[in-house]
Amino acid sequence: MCAAFAAAQQPEQNASKTEGKQWWRHAVFYEIYPRSFADSNNDGVGDLMGIASKLGYLKDLGADAIWITPCFPSPQVDFGYDVSDYESIDPVYGTLADFDTLAREAKRRGIHIILDFVVNHTSDQHKWFLDSRSSRTSAHRDWYIWRDGKGPGQPPNNWISDFGGSAWTFDATTGQYYYHMFDKAQPDLNWRNPAVKDAMFDVTRWWYKRGVSGFRLDAVDTLFEDPSLHDNPILPGVNAFGDPKEENKYNSKLPEVHDVLRGLRKIADEYDAALIGETWTTDIDELNRYYGDHDDELQLPMDFLFTTVNTLSAAEFRRQIAAVNAAKGWPTYVISNHDIVRSYDRYGDGQHNDQIAKLMAGMYLTLRGTPIMYYGEEIGMKTTPPMRREDVKDPIGLKGWPQEKGRDGERTPMQWDASENAGFSKGAPWLPVPDTYKTHNVATESKDAHSVLAFYKEVLKLRHTNDALLEGDYVALDETDPNVLSYLRASASETVLVVLNMSGTKQTSHFDFTHRGFSKVRKLIATGQSSAKGNDVTLEPYGVFLGELK
Ligand code: GLC
């Protein structure tokens, strides 16, 4: 196959040069689900000292920042996303002293700590909610959203919870309904109340002073609701829980969220901290809004567009990359997290999964932007959903079984070695270890130069030292090739060529860079037999080639 080089994009459009100093632009983020990462006290649940014991591994891998999903006191109905105290550590994960040790050890290695700030709701066991529900005149009554029903047994409106059923629960003590976008144990805070805003803003100051470098803001889309409680428009069909589908017109992405983000950013800036947003944007206008009109909201609104591309398609990825690259802020790329099927399974064909895992790494770790990895992705961990309802832990799976099996499958214990329980714990792990742990684990892959892990390390090492990969512009190459995705990353001093074969057959791409003043391609990293000869790059099935233009 022969394809001409198309200089379709002008590098100037990536106006990013002046902001090169911010640490979060060059950092590789690594998401840790603490229950499942490393268990230091062998109770079957991971903990903070477990994470501390793996900092050497993380540094060696090339992670510069760890985002720990909620580790605050919680009844664990939604495994920490139901916080009952924002300023402490849940005993299952350790103590505040453990957190301080982790923070100190991480800092020593130059690793930033990002905490997960559950801003939309608290646990129903938080003292604010306990007071709020105690009487209609309690001090915290207006910290949550309470309304009368439409009539006997009828909730205030038709809003549906993301976790199934009505988003309203009747509370007999005061005879009113409270609103919850998620589980009924996760009542929504009323962000229209300035006291809520002050208290939540103070939480961030409290953690910044303890050494935290930023927050991932959970469920920011749903912070505000229409105060008139208009019914949402009903869409055709039903969801996995059997509820009518609806458009979240009146309870998601309301403009008021931006005032809150500006407030949080102002405080973050005082501490040189980064704000990552769980922003389920559907288009670039929405994504752009999260950066703020004056770069005064989120530095890193997560771009989830990749997570909606569920097949290996050069055309689709090219389209999504071009869109995100043209956004006004610094892109944030994600291919897996604790809420979605792992990328290993979404893109894997069942036969070449390891090769495809390398291909995905070759793509998103070489793009212009900050990548957020998900633990286990670097060793090719697979999704292992529960087979029986009695094994399900996730509240979504419990409610939606069998249609919705929940998110346990992507939260299984990290696979450290080939010993019992994959070296995660000597106790019985809270979720079963996938059977692939014997081959896909850190110890075994560390000894294999061709493993997924070895490839991640190689790419991350290059990424940390290569100016083009750190700051260079993204220049799309052949825009029409259905099988090969290719692009340049070009800085003033270096130009890197990235060529990715998204097909199961051998491919050859022809390039001509003479008009850019380059006559040679020097291999930097390539999988298997993939190689360059003259102006041709030949890729094995699902092959990756990274080269430097000379
Ligand atoms: C976010 C979290 C998810 C959680 C939900 C409710 O989407 O990523 O795990 O269940 O918010 O807090």
pLDDT tens string 270-301: 999 999 999 999 889 999 999 999 999 999 99
Please give the Cα distance from 472 to 461 (Å, whole number): 16
Q: Is the pLDDT of residue 357 over 90?
A: yes
How would residue 28 be classed by pLDDT, with cut points 50, 70 and 90?
very high
Q: Which atom of ligand 1 is nearest to the CA of 183?
A: 6
Return the amino acid letter for 276: I
Answer for the pair 218, 116: CB distance below 8 angstroms, yes or no: yes
Q: Could you tell me which residue, 7 or 406, shows the higher pLDDT?
A: 406
191-201 confidence digits (pLDDT tens) = 999 999 999 99
Phi, psi of 214 (to 5 degrees): 155, 180
* Helix H or strand E segment including 266: helix 257-270
Residue 250: the pLDDT is: 98
Indicate the length of the chain as a whole number.
Answer: 550
Q: Would you tell me the crossing angle of helices 194-209 and 257-270 to the nearest 10 degrees?
A: 30
How would residue 21 be classed by pLDDT, with cut points 50, 70 and 90?
low
Ligand 1, pocket-test mutation among 188, 216, 339, 393, most atoms within 8 A of CB: 339
* Helix H or strand E segment including 452: helix 452-465
CB burial readout 390-400, b (16+ within 10 A) else e:
eebbbbbbebb
Is 79 close to ligand 1, i.e. is its CB under 6 Å away?
no
Protein residue with least CA distance to atom 12, ligand 1: 81
Distance 371 CA to ligand 1 centre (A): 20
Closest CA to 120 of 269, 261, 231: 261
237-256 confidence digits (pLDDT tens) = 999 999 999 999 999 999 99
Average pLDDT in the 365-387 region? 98
Provide the β-strand partners of residue 121. 188
Both tokens of 271, joined, read 């501490």
Closest CA to 532 of 548, 521, 517: 521
Is 218 close to ligand 1, i.e. is its CB under 6 Å away?
yes
Q: Is the pLDDT of residue 14 over 90?
A: no
Residue 5: the pLDDT is: 32
136-149 confidence digits (pLDDT tens) = 999 999 999 999 99
* Helix H or strand E segment including 169: strand 168-171
What is the four-CA torsion angle of 512, 514, 517, 519, rounded to 10 degrees?
70
Ligand 1, pocket-test mutation among 77, 81, 161, 340, most atoms within 8 A of CB: 81
410-424 confidence digits (pLDDT tens) = 999 999 999 999 999
How would residue 308 be classed by pLDDT, with cut points 50, 70 and 90?
confident
Provide the β-strand partners of residue 244. 238
Closest CA to 105 of 96, 114, 113: 113
Domains and CATH numbers, the chain: 3-122+195-214+259-277+305-394+408-463 (3.20.20.80), 123-194+215-258+278-302 (3.90.400.10), 472-549 (2.60.40.1180)
Distances (CA, A) of 48 to 39, 82, 331, 352, 386: 8, 18, 30, 35, 26
Distance 215 CA to ligand 1 centre (A): 14
**DSSP-derived secondary structure for 80-124:** TSS-S-TTS--TTT--HHHHHHHHHHHHHTT-EEEEEEE-SB--T
Protein residue with least CA distance to atom 11, ligand 1: 219
For the chain, state the CA radius of gyration: 24
Average pLDDT in the 99-121 region? 98
Average pLDDT in the 112-127 region? 98
Mean pLDDT (the chain, rounded): 95
Q: Could you tell me which residue, 15 or 58, shows the higher pLDDT?
A: 58
Q: Classify the C-alpha dihedral 145-149-154-156 as positive or negative.
A: negative
Phi/psi region, residue 79 (left: phi>0; alpha: psi -120 to 50; beta: rest), is: left
